[in-house]
Structure 1
């Protein structure tokens, strides 16, 4: 296990694949850790690519600074990690809040992000009132009080009845409440409309057809803001299509990376 000791957080990270290969950075969603990408990385080619993933602050094995957080702080953490491990140019794959981190990172460093996959994300997710209500619920009843409703947004009906869904539910409920609240506050305040509109790079938007957290039309609208983008929808999947439909998700990602000449 590896920890990057940064100024404001200790970030747990991992790399797979070819240590001398072209870097691809993954950022996961609210309430998950870097294991979100296990099934994708298992299916990607091992030669020629260096796969880097991390637990954002307040999640997984990273430290949990006091809430609230901002989207700027989450991007600062990733910038600090990449600087520490010597990654300068890279492709980016982010899901949900991870996709928002990628959008702002690409705005800050258009010369460093070669291409990006934006999965189940948007320039703005939910409303401040919705996030404040969620924060209050966690403060009163913990993450357990939200777990079933979150599973409804994360997964399609058949998957919710599987044994694997129980593992993802446990991952959610074992997320530090402070970390979940901190990132919820970041989502409540984040609106990337202006900065994402300025982007011009190869970008692939991926939506799950049954995603209740970031519906396909929201993902498409965000992707359409980026010059050079395209959009696809994965059937029979909710908010985490990389979990429910890893073969389809990975095939789309691999094809996009190849066509974007990220080698």
Structure 2
């Protein structure tokens, strides 16, 4: 069933791939999107991995609790989702706020993580002033008022063209985001700081970022990689903030190679 009450709220989620015997990869999407941004990645991996995707609280078709949210709420939802599907350990791939949710899970119970892919994210994103300004602008005039600025950070100029149907579709995804859910997660991002969690990570970790990411630029993601002992850092050419959309093949190659190394040759066969 794609809908279940998990951690007290209804979560929309999808499970693909082998029902038993395969390692699990969980894909956690970014602010203002739903789990469809992972379509190409999930399709590439579902033959050999069990793939779990979900709409985080306040996004997509999941329930929209009143804002504000805490990152700890998102992390608790993810932990409850793993419990719901009887997943003892997994690789979590978190994009943007999804990466901070993954770090939140590490802070709650790192033993549930076989590894982490922190994609276009960091231990801390932005500051209170910038997030409060975004919240105020959206409360006054809606997401549409700042959508052009957000989309310019999400996508490269070559992708942001009127004749690109995908750009129109993903623009609509942002514009149709539930307003309370978006605002709630902005508050969670404003208040979250996982610097110490990143410093203490003791699991395999890959950090990757689009070379033209305007939301979490390469230098910011590299600063997070520098905190994580033994981590690997990769830059995806020709991508903004959402490499699974603009560069799905490169995303699959990097995440797939890392997953195969984390889970071993058996999963790669």
Does the alignment pair 1:52 with 2:39?
A: no
What residue in structure 1 maps to residue 213 of structure 2? 211
SS of 1:197's partner is: helix
Does the alignment pair 1:37 with 2:43?
A: no
SS of 1:228's partner is: coil
How much has 1:43 moved relative to structure 2?
2.1
Does the alignment pair 1:157 with 2:157?
A: yes
What residue in structure 2 maps to residue 99 of structure 1? 99
SS of 2:134's partner is: helix
Does the alignment pair 1:115 with 2:109?
A: no
1:43 and 1:261 mapped to 2: Cα distance?
17
2:179 and 2:107 mapped to 1: Cα distance?
30
TM-score, L = length of structure 2: 0.94
Q: Structure 2 matches for 1:1-263, cutoff 5 A?
A: 1-20=1-20, 21-44=22-45, 46-47=47-48, 49-161=49-161, 162-261=164-263, 263=267
Moved more, 6-15 or 149-158: 6-15
Query: Quick check: 2:67–2:181 contact (8 Å CA) kept in 1?
Result: yes
1:29 and 1:60 mapped to 2: Cα distance?
11
Q: Deviations over 1:170-205 (max 9, x none)?
A: 000101010000000000101110111110111111
1:19 and 1:107 mapped to 2: Cα distance?
28
Structure 2 residue ranges without an equivalent (≥5): none
1:155 and 1:229 mapped to 2: Cα distance?
26
1:167 and 1:131 mapped to 2: Cα distance?
25
Structure 1 residue ranges without an equivalent (≥5): none
How much has 1:224 moved relative to structure 2?
2.1
Cα RMSD for the two superposed structures = 1.2
1:206 and 1:12 mapped to 2: Cα distance?
27
1:76 and 1:115 mapped to 2: Cα distance?
18
Query: Quick check: 1:206–1:219 contact (8 Å CA) kept in 2?
Result: yes
Query: Quick check: 2:26–2:53 contact (8 Å CA) kept in 1?
Result: yes
SS of 2:169's partner is: helix
Number of positions where the alignment pairs a residue of Structure 1 with one of Structure 2? 262
Once superposed, which parts of structure 1, at least 4 consecutive aligned residues long, lie more than 4 Å away? none
How much has 1:244 moved relative to structure 2?
0.2
Query: Quick check: 2:106–2:197 contact (8 Å CA) kept in 1?
Result: no
1:7 and 1:112 mapped to 2: Cα distance?
17
How much has 1:8 moved relative to structure 2?
3.4
Q: Deviations over 1:8-62 (max 9, x none)?
A: 3211110111121211111100000010100111222513x10001000100010
1:18 and 1:242 mapped to 2: Cα distance?
22
Query: Quick check: 2:45–2:51 contact (8 Å CA) kept in 1?
Result: no
